[in-house]
Amino acid sequence: MNSNSKITVETIRSMKGRGEKIAALTAYDFPMTRLLDQAGVPLLLVGDSLGMVVLGHPDTTQVTMGDIEHHLRAAVRARPRALLGADLPYRSYDTVEQAVTNSRRLFDAGAEFVKAEGGCEIVPQIRAILAAGIPFLGHIGMLPQHVLEEGGKYHIKGRDDAGRDRLMADARALADAGAFGMVLELVTPPVSRMLTAALKIPTIGIGSGSDCDGQILVTHDLLGLFPWFTPRFVKPRLDAAGQMQAAVEAWRREL
């Protein structure tokens, strides 16, 4: 990867061919986007996880287009070298028309790609988004936007033959529709390995084992910025919350 040039969808796709691991993180504002970009992360996402780690909602289902646009505009101001995309929030792509209108809104706000959750059932939406000239990143496996339908629990996917076959059908459908890559969330490691080997486009795992083409994390989890909940698969690299608290207490004591 050339160290100065702007990262494009093609750059990300070609990393799979070269066996270069794709690091991806969420970014929801100007300073974090700038810092992560300076740390050399090639793929950044204004994820709807912002609903939980920034806005204080219990899950991602209450995130609106307005929320994503607001944070996206802040992230875009960092003018990252990284490829910067945004999530289409819950219920914003139920129909093909909604998918195109809302993807255009994010594209106009500066997103270089959009991501939405789902497999075969959203292929018409994906085709329409791509026909509108907007790159698309898929997201299969555990779908946080459907957590309430799943009884409020985040279940691991691909545990049995039916689950594995379903994931394979979804992954192939996304690739055939033209997605440039796909997130695999909470997919069993053997199934992630199988999908990664079967697909020409990159897989980016989260809680899905180490054999995907890349890994994505919620930055707040990686940096210990949201200490009230850390997913089991994350090994925080920093206790940012603890350090912030200690720094503020030290300052307060010295007043």
Residues that bind ligand KIV (CB under 6 A): 26, 45, 47-49, 87, 139, 183, 206, 216, 218
| Cβ neighbours for 185, distance < 8 A, ≥ 6 positions apart | 139, 140, 141, 142, 143, 144, 157, 205, 206, 207, 208
The residue sitting closest to ligand KIV, measured at its beta carbon, is 47
3-class SS of residue 171 = helix
Is 112 marked active-site?
A: no
CA gap 103, 64 in Å, rounded: 13
Asked if 175 and 16 count as a contact pair (C-beta separation under 8 A), the reply is no
Closest CA to 195 of 146, 154, 144, 158: 158
3-class SS of residue 78 = coil
Smallest distance from ligand KIV to CB 122, Å: 15
Smallest distance from ligand KIV to CB 11, Å: 19
Q: Decide whether 65 or 216 has the Cβ nearer to ligand KIV.
A: 216
Smallest distance from ligand KIV to CB 181, Å: 11
Q: Decide whether 175 or 222 has the Cβ nearer to ligand KIV.
A: 222
Q: Decide whether 165 or 206 has the Cβ nearer to ligand KIV.
A: 206
State the catalytic residues: 185
